[in-house]
Amino acid sequence: MKSQDKPLSDIAEKKKNEGKGVNRRQFLSSATAAGVVAASVTAPNKAITQESTETSHAAITPPSAQQEAMEYDVPVGYSAEEAEQYFVKNPGSDFMVDVLKELKFDYITTNPGSSFRGIHESIVNYGGNKSPELIEATHEEIATAMAHGYYKITGRPLAMLAHGTVGLQHAAMAVYNAWCDRSPMVILAGNHLDVAHRRPGVEWSHSAQDCVRVIRDYIKWDDSPVSLQHFSESMARAYKIAMTPPMGPVAIVLEGHLQEAELGNQQAPIPGMTPTQPPSGDTNAVDEAARWLVEAENPVIVVDLMAHDQEGVERLVALAEALQAPVVNQFGRMNFPSNHYLSQAANVVAQADVILGLELYDTWGTINNMRDRVHKDVQRRARPDARVIDIGVKDLFTKSNYQSFQRYFSTDLSIAGDAQTTLPGLTEAVQSAMSSARRASNPERKARWQAAHIRQREQDRDWARYGWNASPVSTGRLYAELWNVVKDKDWALVSDDGQQNRWARRLWPIDKHYQWIGRSGGAGLGYGAPSALGAALAHRPEGRIPINVQRDGDMMYVPGTFWTAAHHNIPMLTVTHDNQGYHQEFMHLQRMAARRQRGVDGSSWIGNELRNPEIDLAKVVEGMGVWSEGPYSNPKDIGPAIARALDVVEAGEPAFVHVQTQPR
Amino acid sequence: MIITKGFYPILGLAAIFLCCGKAIGQDSEDVVTGQALYETYQCWQCHSYQGQGGAHGPRIAPTLYPFEAFSQFVRRTNLMPAYSPNVLSDQDLRLIYDYVRSIPEPPSLEEIPELTF
C-alpha cells in the first residue's frame, strides 16, 4: 500500500500567511482535502478502502468575529509583549486534535485531569467536541472499559484520555482486560516531563519519568513524543500497531508543555495511516491442515477470539459446512450462530480425531481438564490419538510477565496467522482436498449434527424450567423473560452470560456478530458495566436495544457508569443479576473449607457478601438520573418491569431493573 | 452439565435404585429441617435454592438418585468439594436429601410460553 503522507507544509506556511489573512482552519481544511487512508482492519482479505477525510474539518463551525480577533489581533488594551505572556494563538494541542480527527476517532473517553488540560480544551473548543466527542466518566477504569466495549461492536478503537500517573493507575485493571481480550484502544496519557514547566505541588506528584511503565506489561506499544511531528507519527504508528492482529492497547504520552505551548513556526506534517494487512497462515501449512480435516472421521472446530465482524462469522460457517464439522464456540467473540445446526456443545471434543482450534485463548484447557483437588490431577478431554491444529496469533504476543498466555500445549500443527484472514484459504483448500466419496458423506453428517443440535436445544430449554417459580428469580427465567420482551426488536446482548449459566447462548438465537460482546479478557471486576455502556454507545446510532445483565459485584466497582449513561443519553436496558455476593469467591472459600474439614456451615459469607446491609441498586442508579425499578425477587414481577424499561430505552434513555436472583 | 467419567458409575447406581429401591419417606418436619441445613451448608451456592443447578453445579432436584448415590456424590466426587462426615454428618445429609426429594417438578414446557424459542 502506498503511504499517504501529506505534508501539511503547513504550519510554518500558515503562520507566514496568517498576516495575509489566510485563516488557520481554511489552511488545514485544504491541506487535509488530499485525503488520508482510513480503513478497517476488521475486513481482512478485502481491498483496503480509502476514504477521503475531506469533510473531517469541514464540519467545524467557522470562528466567530470575536475568535478571529483573538487569533489574529492583540486584544484591545494589551501590549504585544503582554499578549505574548497571557495568550496563545496556536497551541500544540490544536494540532493534536487535528491528528485525532485524521485518525477518525469517534469518541474520547476520559475522567478529567490537569495534565491534559491543553488537549481537553482543544477538543472542546477547537475541535467543536465532535469526531472525537468527549465522553465523561467518573473513573478511568470506566473510561477504559467503555473503549473496550465500543471496539467489540464497531471494530474501531476509541481513544482514552487520562493522567499519566494517577489516571493510568486507575485505568490499569481495565487496560489489562483489554490486553487479555486482544482489544485495541489508544491511551493518551498526560504528563509533565520537563521540570522547568512543572508547577509546584500536585503537578510533581502527577508526573513521572516513565508514566506508561505501570501498564507496559500489558500493552503492545507506547511512545513519549517530544515534538508535534513526533506526536503525529507516533499516533499513526500507534493506531496501526493497535489494530494489527494480535490487537491490543497502545499508549501515547501527551507532554504537558507540548500541549500548551505556542506552536509557532514548527513544521508538523500529519502522516497518512495505511492499515496493516492482517497476517495470514502459511499456505503450505494451511493445505496440510485441510488434508487432515478432510481425512478425519470426526473433525471438530473449536473457536474463541476469532471473528472480528460478521464476515468472520460467515467465513466460519462456510468452512464448517464444507466439512460438515461441528463447531464449539467458546464465545470469546460471536464466531458462529448459536442456532446453526453445527453449533454443538463442548463435549463433542471428546469424539474428535482432528481438532481445529481457531484463536483459542486456552488450547491446553480445551484439550485437558485439571481437577481442583489437593493434588491437581489432569485428564485429557480429547482422544489420545486426536491431532490438534491451532491457527491464531497468540504466538505473536511478546510479553512475558503476566501469564495470560495460558499453559503450553504441544499442538500437532501450529499456524501463526489471523484465523479470520486465514479461513478463506483453508476452506478453499478443504474443497480442493475433498474426494467425491468424502463429499458424499456430508448429507449423513449433516443429518447427524442436525439431530444433535435439536436435542441439545431441547435439553437446554427443558433445563430452564427448573426453578421457574423460585424466588429469588432463577437465572434461566431471567433470560427467558428478557427474551420475550426483546425478541422482536433489533437487540444486542452487551454483557457476558458466563456467570448466569450461559443462558443466552443456550436459549437465544444469536446469529449476528454485534449481538454478542464476549468476555472481559482478564476477568477483572469492573469491566461489565462500563464495557456494556461502551457497546451501548456503539449501538446507539443503529437504534438497537442493548441488553446488559449486570452483576452486583461488578456494578459496585464502577457504579458511576450509570451516571455516564444518563449524562450522555446512552440507551441501555440493564437487568441485574444480584446474588448479593462475590459468588465465585464464595464457592472458592467453600471449597477450601470443605478441603480443610471446617466451617462449611456458613463461614464462606465472611468477606464475600454484599448484604447486611442489602444494596438497593435501583436507588443507587436513580440517584444518578437513571430510570429504575425494583428490587424484585418475585419472578412474576420481572416480565412487566422489563417491558416498562424497554419503553424507556426505546425513548432514548437508559433504564434499570433491579432483580434479585439465584446465585448462578 | 459436564459429566465426567467418574460420575457415570453413580448414574448407573442411581438407575438401579430407581428400579429397585423403595421410596424414602419425607416427613414434613424433616423437610423443613433439611431445607434449613441445605441453606446452612451452602448447597444452594452451586445447586441454587430449588436444586435446579447453576453454572458450577448440576441440577439435583427433583432428584432421581437414591440416598446412597446422593451421599456418594457429596462424599467422593469429581465435581464438588468433598464434604466429609466430620463437617456434615450422615444424619444431616439425610435430612438435606429429604428436602431435595421434596422439591416438586417445575411446570412443564407447555405451561411456560416464555420458553418458546
Pairing between strand A572-577 and A545-551? Answer: parallel
Print burial letters for B47-69: b (CB count within 10 Å at least 16), e (below 16). Answer: bbbbbbbbbbbbbbbbbebbbeb
Sheet holding A249-255, edge to edge: A133-136, A107-110, A159-163, A185-191, A249-255, A221-223
The Cα B56–Cα B80 span in angstroms is: 9
Cis bond leading into A44, ω under 30°? no
Assigned domain for B86 exists:
yes
Residue of A nearest to B44 (CA): A663
Say how far apart CA B91 and CA A528 lie, in whole Å: 43
* Residues counted in chain B: 117
Chain B residue at shortest CA distance from A586: B45
Rounded CA-CA distance B13/B19 in Å is 10
> How much is the ipTM here?
0.82
Rg (CA), chain B: 15
Picking from B4, B114, B116 by the largest number of A CB atoms within 10 A of its own CB, the best residue to mutate is B114
- Which three three-digit cell numbers place residue A644? 416498562
State the smallest CA–CA distance between residue B79 and chain A in angstroms.
Answer: 8
Other beta carbons within 10 angstroms of residue A473's beta carbon come to 27
Cell representation of residue A222 = 507506547
Per the CB < 8 Å rule, is A470 touching B48?
yes
As given in the structure block, the three cell numbers for residue A95 are 494540532
CB contact under 8 A, B56 and A474: no
Q: Are A621 and A550 in contact (CB under 8 A)?
A: no
The reply to whether B66 falls in a domain is yes
The answer to whether position B22 is within a domain reads no
Whether residue B87 and residue A346 make contact (CB cut-off 8 A), yes or no, is no
- B110 domain residue, yes or no: no
Which residues of B fall within a CB distance of 8 Å from A486?
none
Which helix (H) or strand (E) covers residue A370, if one does? Answer: strand A368-370
Contacts of A475 in chain B (CB under 8 A): 54
| Cβ atoms within 10 Å of A141's Cβ, excluding its own | 26
pLDDT at A43: 31
The full 3-state SS of A205-223, as one line of letters, equals HCCCCCHHHHHHHHCCEEE
Question: Quick check: A354 and A389 in contact, CB under 8 A?
Answer: yes
pLDDT of residue B56: 86
Smallest CA–CA distance, residue B106 to chain A, in Å, is 6
What φ, ψ does residue A460 adopt, rounded to 5°? Answer: -60, -45
Residue B34 within a domain: yes
Distance from CA of A390 to the nearest CA of B (A): 24
Residue of B nearest to A347 (CA): B2
pLDDT tens-digit map of A605-642? 999 999 999 999 999 999 999 999 999 999 999 999 99
Mean pLDDT for chain B?
Answer: 81
Please check whether residue B43 lies inside any domain of the structure: yes
Q: How many CA atoms lie within 13 A of A325 on its CB side?
A: 34
Question: Crossing angle of helices A11-18/A24-32, nearest 10°?
Answer: 140
Whether residue B109 and residue A462 make contact (CB cut-off 8 A), yes or no, is yes
Is any Cβ of chain A less than 8 angstroms from the Cβ of B86? Answer: yes
Q: How long is chain A?
A: 664
The strand pair at A221-223 and A387-392 is best described as unpaired
- Interchain contact, B45 vs A472, CB within 8 Å: no
The answer to the question of residue B5 being in a domain is no
Calpha distance A360→A357 (Å, rounded): 6
**Burial category of A326 from C-beta neighbours within 10 Å (exposed 0-12, middle 13-18, buried 19 and up):** buried
Query: Which residue ranges of chain A lie beneath pLDDT 70?
Result: 1-73, 266-267
End-to-end CA distance of chain A: 50
* Closest residue by Cα to residue A243 from A59, A450, A418, A465: A418
Which sign does the torsion angle of CA A137, A141, A146, A147 carry? Answer: positive
Cα–Cα dist A494/A550, whole Å: 10
pLDDT for the residue A49? 31
Residues 46-65 of chain B whose Cβ lies under 8 A from any Cβ of chain A:
46, 48-57, 59, 61
Query: What domains can you pick out in chain A, each with its CATH number?
Result: 11-260 (3.40.50.970), 283-456 (3.40.50.1220), 465-580+615-659 (3.40.50.970)
Instruction: Provide the CA A432 distance to its chain's centre, in angstroms.
Output: 37
Dist CA A383 CA A349 (whole Å): 8
Asked if residue A307 lies in contact with residue A420, where contact means CB atoms within 8 angstroms, the answer is: yes
For A133, the 3-state DSSP assignment is strand
CA–CA separation, A208 and A216 (whole Å): 14
**Closest alpha carbon within chain A to B45:** A663
Share of chain B above pLDDT 90, in %: 64
Tell me how far apart the alpha carbons of residues A428 and A431 are, in angstroms, rounded to a whole number.
Answer: 5
Closest Cα in chain B, distance from residue A591 (Å): 5
CA A208/CA A193 separation, integer angstroms: 7
Q: How far apart are CA A217 and CA A172, in angstroms?
A: 10
- Contact by Cβ (8 Å): A149, A535: yes
* The pLDDT of residue A263: 86
**In 3D, which of B70, B74, B84 has the Cα closest to residue B24?**
B70
The predicted structure's pLDDT at residue B4? 35
Among candidates A583, A600, A639 on the partner chain, residue whose Cβ is nearest the Cβ of B88 = A600
The H-assigned helical ranges of A441-582 are 442-464, 475-486, 503-507, 528-539, 552-557, 561-567
A586·B45 Cβ contact <8 A: yes
A664/B48 CB distance under 8 A: yes
The Cα-based distances of A208 to A60, A120, A221, A222, B100 in angstroms read 35, 20, 18, 15, 60
pLDDT of residue B51 exceeding 90, the answer is yes
Considering only CB atoms, which chain A residues are within 8 Å of B78?
371
B48 and A598: CB-CB below 8 Å?
no
Q: Do the chains contact at B61 and A461, CB–CB below 8 Å?
A: no
Write the DSSP assignment of A62-112 as a string of letters.
PPPHHHHHHHHSPPTT--HHHHHHH--SSBHHHHHHHHHHHTT-SEEEE--
pLDDT for the residue A267:
67
> What is the rounded distance in angstroms from the CA atom of residue A141 to the CA atom of residue A290?
43
Residue with cell 493434588: A375
Return the closest-CA partner of residue B44 out of B32, B56, B33: B56
Average pLDDT over residues B14-39: 66
Cα of A392 to nearest chain B Cα, Å:
27
Whole-number Å distance between alpha carbons of B13 and B62: 17
Give the residue numbers spanning the domain of B88: 27-104
- Name the residue among B28, B15, B32, B41 with its Cα closest to residue B93: B41
Residue B7 lies inside a defined structural domain of this protein: no
CATH number at residue B95: 1.10.760.10
A–B: how many Cβ contacts below 8 A? Answer: 123
Selected for mutation to probe chain A from B48, B77, B103, B108 (highest A CB count within 10 Å) is B48
Integer CA distances (angstroms), A415 to A284, A357, A388, A422, A620, in order: 10, 10, 11, 10, 49
Q: How many domains does chain B have?
A: 1
